[in-house]
Amino acid sequence: MAPPPTLGRPLVKHAAWGYASASAAPFLVNKYIHENQTDKCLADISILVVTGFVCKHVSHLLLVKETQDKKLIPVDEILEQVLLIDGNKDLMCVSRLPHFHGLCG
């Protein structure tokens, strides 16, 4: 996984990576926050809602919508990066690598 950007600074809005964790839907990281008292790193996230598939035959491309829901989670809970494809606001989607779904052997 790529190293986090400078802590506490907002990420560029058109970032090409979304993220996934075991306990949440895909999400975008707005910024990383270092908590001094516990020496932990948290991610300020915006939740994405999965609205369907881009194509019924391609299960690793998910249509998503950005919500207003925000949350702080420990960085340790981030499991993987997913590719965020958001060039068309009406067809924003995320792509997990096909081998996570058993499509590539």
Question: Does residue 93 form part of some domain?
Answer: yes
> Which secondary structure element, helix H or strand E, spans residue 66, and what is its range?
strand 58-74
Domain holding 42, by residue range, is 17-101
Which pLDDT score, from 0 to 100, does residue 66 have?
A: 85
CB 34 within 8 A of CB 7: yes
Q: How many structural domains does the chain have?
A: 1
Question: Does residue 1 form part of some domain?
Answer: no
Which pLDDT score, from 0 to 100, does residue 5 have?
A: 47
Question: Does residue 27 form part of some domain?
Answer: yes
Place of tokens 């019924």: 56
Question: Does residue 3 form part of some domain?
Answer: no
Which pLDDT score, from 0 to 100, does residue 98 have?
A: 57
pTM: 0.67
27 to 7, 37, 69, 103: CA distances (angstroms): 18, 26, 10, 23
Task: Encode pLDDT of 42-89 as tens digits.
Answer: 989 888 888 888 888 877 788 888 889 999 989 888 877 777 887 777
Which pLDDT score, from 0 to 100, does residue 70 have?
A: 92
Question: Does residue 9 form part of some domain?
Answer: no
| DSSP 8-state code for residue 105 | -
Question: Does residue 6 form part of some domain?
Answer: no
Question: Does residue 34 form part of some domain?
Answer: yes
Question: Does residue 43 form part of some domain?
Answer: yes
| DSSP 8-state code for residue 2 | P
Which pLDDT score, from 0 to 100, does residue 15 have?
A: 43
